[in-house]
């Protein structure tokens, strides 16, 4: 089944403790993105990647890092999480000529 898989689905952590949210897609898509969803703000892009080793900032990159060492994986790294990073996170992918993005199931992150 074609899908984008995020892990974990839920995470509660403490301020300053480094964490990684994984994202993997099995559709051989070149383009991948991370978004965060906050009430009243919709979804906002954090980072995106056009291919292996090619990444760039989205609208809200502060406090996040990404890497794209393999085509299928695009992990989101929070090196020192803070409470304002409490949010619902989505990974998405699409092929270069594809119109729509395919989304993962979401990761609910709470930083206390």
Residues lying near other proteins in the complex (CB under 8 A): 31, 33, 35, 40-45, 48, 50, 58-59, 88, 90, 92, 99-101, 103, 105-106, 108
* Closest to other proteins by CB, 72 or 108: 108
Residues near 99 by beta carbon (within 8 Å), at least 6 away in sequence: none
Minimum gap (Å) between residue 16 Cβ and other proteins: 27
* Closest to other proteins by CB, 20 or 30: 30
Minimum gap (Å) between residue 103 Cβ and other proteins: 4
Minimum gap (Å) between residue 55 Cβ and other proteins: 11
């Amino acid at each position: 089944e074609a899908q984008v898989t995020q892990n974990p689905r839920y995470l509660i952590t403490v301020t300053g403790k480094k964490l990684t949210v994984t994202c993997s897609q099995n559709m051989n898509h070149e383009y991948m993105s991370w978004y965060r969803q906050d009430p009243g703000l919709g979804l906002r892009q954090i980072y995106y990647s056009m291919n292996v080793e090619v990444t760039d900032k989205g609208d809200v990159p502060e406090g996040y890092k990404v890497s794209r060492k393999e085509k299928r994986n695009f992990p989101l790294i929070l090196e020192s999480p803070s409470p304002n990073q409490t949010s619902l996170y989505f990974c998405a992918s699409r092929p270069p000529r594809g119109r729509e993005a395919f989304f993962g199931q979401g990761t609910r992150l709470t930083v206390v």
